[in-house]
Amino acid sequence: MATLRDIKRRIKAVQSTSKITKAMKMVAAAKFRKAQQRMFELRPYAERMNAILAGLAGSLEGEVHPLLAVRPRKNVEVFVITSDRGLCSAFNTNILKAATQHIAELRAEGFEVTISAVGRKAKDYFKRRNVELRNSWTGISGKISYANAQEIAADIIESYTNETVDEVIVVYNEFKSVVAQKITITRLLPLAPIAAADDVLPVFNFIYEPTKEEIFSRLVPKNVEIQIFRALLESQASEEAARMSAMENATKSANEMILKLSLQYNKARQATITKELMDIVGGVEALKG
């Protein structure tokens, strides 16, 4: 049975843990607000830019830009976005599980699959399973900049234009709310033409100035950068939201444990006092006899 000293030591340890998790929640909340604001500011621009370019691609004749070229799928690249750090509940576990399942499905269909990843969690995950990554980026979690998206986009664009890969799939956590993130698996390249819809620019015969080749040579790579930047920001906001919720739950669990340990301590202390009183009474009765 645990002694009073042992219980008291455990209470102090749990109290220290509670203080740490509470502080981590406050830090995550501050980071989350900044990440959420950046993500909300970029999301409408990224969605509209992608929709307009996809709509315009439907009016083009011939191959205007290599990134618009749709080739027979043989080699598929899966680009996975995770975090560098843990303590964010099932944030990384869920995304890695979904990515692994999608990779297995692609290979079952006969495609050659290469993998690139953002985040130390993804890098370590695939390394433990002896899966070679084509490329990886770590150390950017929590401090994502547009330069990071440009670097990643340049690598992916080079692989696609060199025909090393025929399709690029992005797997990331899309932010929905503080308590909900949606695992998103979407095609990044090629930017295929889509049918005209209410929220997409209708298909017209546009007059391009200076030329449609020059316009698309600038806009299409820029769109790839924007879509990657959006995925990174969505993932960052989701990560901080998950960490904030995880630390809140950890703090609640610690406080509940402190209450249980305090009750256990009081019961043990009361039992000790009662035993000592009984020993005293027994001693007095023995002296009387």
Ramachandran angles phi, psi of 216, nearest 5°: -70, -30
- Beta strands 180-189; 112-118: pairing state: unpaired
Rounded to whole angstroms, the maximal C-alpha distance in the chain is: 117
- Active-site annotation holder among 88, 191, 242, 244: 88
Per-residue buried b or exposed e for 245-275, using 16+ beta carbons within 10 Å of the residue's own CB: bbbbebbeebeebbeebeeebeebeeeeeee
How far does Cα 168 stand from its chain's mean position? 19
d(C-alpha 161, C-alpha 165), whole Å: 8
88: annotated active-site residue: yes
- Smallest CA-to-CA distance from 230 within 81, 119, 114, 85 is with 81
Sign of CA dihedral 155, 160, 163, 167: positive
Question: What distances in angstroms separate CA 27 from CA 19, 248, 261, one per listed residue?
Answer: 12, 12, 28
C-beta separation of 114 from 165 below 8 A: yes
Q: Which two tokens stand for residue 152?
A: 């990643």
Beta-carbon neighbour count of residue 11 at 10 Å? 18
Residues annotated as part of the active site: 88
